[in-house]
Amino acid sequence: MEILLGAPACLTPLGPDLPTTLAAMRAGTSALLPSPFPGSEDPVHIGRVDDVWLTGSGRRSQRMIGRVVRHTLPRLTRNLRTEPRTCFILATTKGDVKALEQGRPEDTMLPVFAARMGAAQGFSGQPIVVSSACISGTLAIKLAADLIALGEFDHALVVGFDEASDFVLSGFLSLHAVAAEGCKPFDDARDGISLGEASASVVLSRDRSLFTEGAVAEYIGGGMGNDANHISGPSRIGEGLVRAVQAAMDSAGLAATDIHHINAHGTGSLYNDGMEAIAFGRLGLGHAPVNSYKGYFGHTLGTAGLVETLIAVEGLRQGTMLRSLGATNTTAMPDMDILRRTGTPQETFY
Amino acid sequence: MDPQALKQQLKEQIITQLNLEEVKVEDIADDKPLFGEGLGLDSIDALELIVLLERHYGIKVTDPKQGQTIFRSVNTMAEFIQSQK
Amino acid sequence: MNVIAHSRLKGGVLSADDRELLRAQGSMENVFRECYKELAMDYPKFHKMDAPSKLAVLVTEPLLQRARQEGADLENRMGLIGMSHCGSTVTDEEHWAVRTETGLASPAVFVYTLPNIGLGEITIRHRIFGSSLCLLDHEPGTELIQRSIRVLHERDGMEWIVCLWSDIFADRYDARAVLLGPGPGAPADANTLRTLIST
């Protein structure tokens, strides 16, 4: 059975929609800008979504989600709000955690946040909430595809959201995990992450005629694995990632030599990026050009996997692989083909 | 502060701050390694000790790598705190 | 898949397969400490966990010990489903209180401010590398549980699954878990799951 993705939309620190975001990335623009942070002597580089792109009233979180859902739904031939056998999945780590900063912990509970989001977007029923840290967005795509493949649903609206908050930033600062300037994924001198924020949405369906502009991609496989190593540090041998990628390739019936591009997590932290390099080596994927988008707009947490998948797909549709912004010196990872220039697959060979 | 009193206080603070439920003050010899074979602390504990230094002693450690020498044992921690005065 | 075993921790009582393993008095922290001793876990890391992780680890411990006895391949064929309403809210509040009261966040608290960390602690303790799902919902509804089981079993090839509902807010806690697998037991249908997890 064919499972298709279509009507992608995103709101990122680089733009109010997917085409604007991608154009800025092709031009090599970074949205990571120094911003003062209470308790930190130096400004911290953060990727923030400009409020002028948000319309309407209500919580900023709901307006960020509303923006992408309103981009996605009109590009369908049927009204997903009333279409039977449709599921609504939200991927997020912290939802509206700013409500906690404002003294309302009950409002931060993710089922409460998701119920409000569903109602605000005109859906009945409780959305499914996936909250598995940084893999939430990717896992939500896989869950949607699995549920459709199993015949539980015919269509799925997948939304990702996370906001840059003092809550999260203060925590990463206490872990000494934040880059001094904008993050530099896969660079020898990488020194930590930069926090970003984004929302994104996409529809998965077994029905090609649902998409007015056609499908943008087909889901052909997915996998996941646990590191079972440490709650905040990645396995030094990339065990969870190796298992996840192998399962994805196996389920798609692909071998390592079939893979021509990897959009990696590439957070800019010393251990994460090193772990990914080791994992790709173990998987025999050293030949595949790799990039990370974190240097463009930061780590968008639970929505990262979703927004980055949509950007990667749109880029490839335009025949472009984006350079891994911030990766200037990559001598420490000689076995990995880190994209140092943006262009067509032919142009990026050098 | 008297060095012995400081070390005693550090041991109590380490146990409380790091939730070392099964460890008592007398289990931590002044020169016992805090990491690895000794108390078996991990990287998050090291970061927590950096916060401990700032919160209780007003000392800022900006590079976590420095922790490897400062937090070798209660002795080295106490020496570091005294050297910062 | 069949229900091989089930467990519950609520109101100071830890039970497995309707057999009371422990009845403890006092604070939540005290109850968790007593459970830890009763289960003979010998796992000092336990004391560093936040309360939601302790709850998740404790209620699943008898089930994973049982799975090991049954010869389950925990490393490759054990799937985990973790569901909750409050997620990490109590720890989120603690992180934010420390950050605002002292001006400095605590790294050891912050690393627990995610709803899936309890599942992570279970995978670390039992060396489980397979698939896991962390879902947040108002209640442990059988429909979502059954769908999740199908995903892990039919799509990801997990032969064994531990499905967990655990919730903590303020000093109230409630956790229930079931072990599903290929052995003899009641089929994991809606009625069985409703009895063991949803009510």
Task: Name the helix (H) or strand (E) containing A70.
Answer: helix A60-72
Contact assignment for A176 to B47 by CB distance below 8 Å: yes
Q: Which residues of A87-123 are buried (b: 16+ CB within 10 A; e: fewer)?
A: bbbbbbbbbbbbbbeeeebebbbbbbbbbbbbebbeb
pLDDT at position A299 over 80: yes
Inter-residue contact A89 to A157 (CB < 8 Å): yes
C55 within 8 A of C66, measured Cβ to Cβ: no
Contact partners for chain A, using 3 or more CB pairs closer than 8 A, are B, C
Residue B47, min C-alpha distance to chain A (Å): 6
- C-beta separation of B73 from B36 below 8 A: no
Going through A70-154 in order, the beta strands assigned E by DSSP cover: 86-91, 128-130
Give the separation between CA A335 and CA B7, rounded to whole angstroms: 48
Query: Using the beta-carbon criterion (under 8 Å), do A129 and C129 form an inter-chain contact?
Result: no
ipTM reported for the complex surpasses 0.85: yes
Instruction: Kindly report whether the global pTM for this prediction surpasses the value 0.95.
Output: yes
Give tens-digit pLDDT for A191-246. 999 999 999 999 999 999 999 999 999 999 999 999 999 988 899 999 999 999 99
- Note the pLDDT of residue A42: 84
For chain A, the residues whose C-beta falls within 8 A of a C-beta of chain B are: 174-176, 230, 232-233
Is C2-88+115-198 in CATH node 3.40.47.10? yes
CA C28 – CA C55 distance, rounded (Å): 10
Distance from CA of A340 to the nearest CA of C (A): 33
CB proximity under 8 Å: B 16-75 to C = 18-22, 40, 44-45, 47-48, 51, 54-55
- As a whole number, the mean pLDDT across chain B is 92
Query: How far apart, in whole angstroms, are the C-alpha atoms of residue A325 and residue A164?
Result: 21
Residue A118: pLDDT over 70: yes
pLDDT one-digit tens code per residue, C35-67: 999 999 999 899 999 999 999 999 999 999 999
pLDDT of residue A349 exceeding 70, the answer is: no
Mean pLDDT of chain C: 96
Distance CA C49, CA A269 (A): 24
Which has more pLDDT, A117 or C198? A117
Do B19 and C44 lie within an 8 Å CB cutoff?
no
**pLDDT tens figures, C79-118:** 999 999 999 999 999 999 999 999 999 999 999 999 999 9
The answer to whether C173 and C198 have CB atoms below 8 angstroms apart is no
Whole-angstrom distance, CA of residue C105 vs CA of residue B16: 16
Instruction: Dump pLDDT digits (tens) for B2-43.
Output: 899 999 999 999 999 998 888 999 999 999 999 987 788 888
Q: Is the pLDDT score of A350 beyond 60?
A: no
Which CATH superfamily includes the segment(s) B3-83? Answer: ACP-like (1.10.1200.10)
At A253, list the tokens: 């019936």
- A:C CB pairs within 8 Å: 128
- DSSP string over C87-141: TTHHHHHHHHHHHHHHSS--HHHHTT-STTHHHHHHHHHHT--S-EEEEE-SS--
- Judged by a CB distance cut-off of 8 A, whether residue C47 touches chain B is yes
As a whole number of angstroms, the distance between CA A295 and CA A280 comes to 20
Give A43's pLDDT tier (boundaries 50, 70, 90): very high
Supply the pLDDT for residue B22: 84
Hey, is A14 helix, strand or coil? coil
Domain ranges of chain C: 2-88+115-198
Predicted pLDDT of residue B73: 94
Tell me the C-alpha distance between C3 and C192, whole Å: 8
Helix, strand, coil share (%) of chain C residues, nearest 5: 45, 25, 30
Give bridge partners of residue A155 from the DSSP assignment. A86, A205
pLDDT score of C1: 94
Chains that touch B (3 or more CB pairs under 8 A): A, C
Q: Do C108 and B54 touch (CB under 8 A)?
A: no
Gap between the Cα atoms of A204 and A156, Å rounded: 5
Which residues of chain C neighbour A247 with C-beta distances below 8 Å? 156
Instruction: Please give the residue of chain A at the shortest CA–CA distance from C118.
Output: A231
Asked if B21 and C44 come within 8 Å (Cβ–Cβ), the reply is: yes
Nearest to A18 by CA among A320, A218, A313: A313
Asked if A173 contacts A116 with a C-beta cutoff of 8 angstroms, the reply is: no
Which member of A108, A128, A228 has the closest CB to residue C123?
A228
C138 vs A101, A126, A170: nearest CB: A126
Q: Does B43 touch chain A (CB under 8 A)?
A: yes
pLDDT above 90 covers a percentage of chain C that reads 96
Section A52-56 average pLDDT? 93
Which residues fall within 8 angstroms of residue B3, CB to CB, at 6 or more apart?
A: B78, B82
Q: In chain A, what percentage of residues exceed pLDDT 70?
A: 99
In three-state secondary structure terms, C174 is strand
Query: What pLDDT is attached to residue A348?
Result: 63
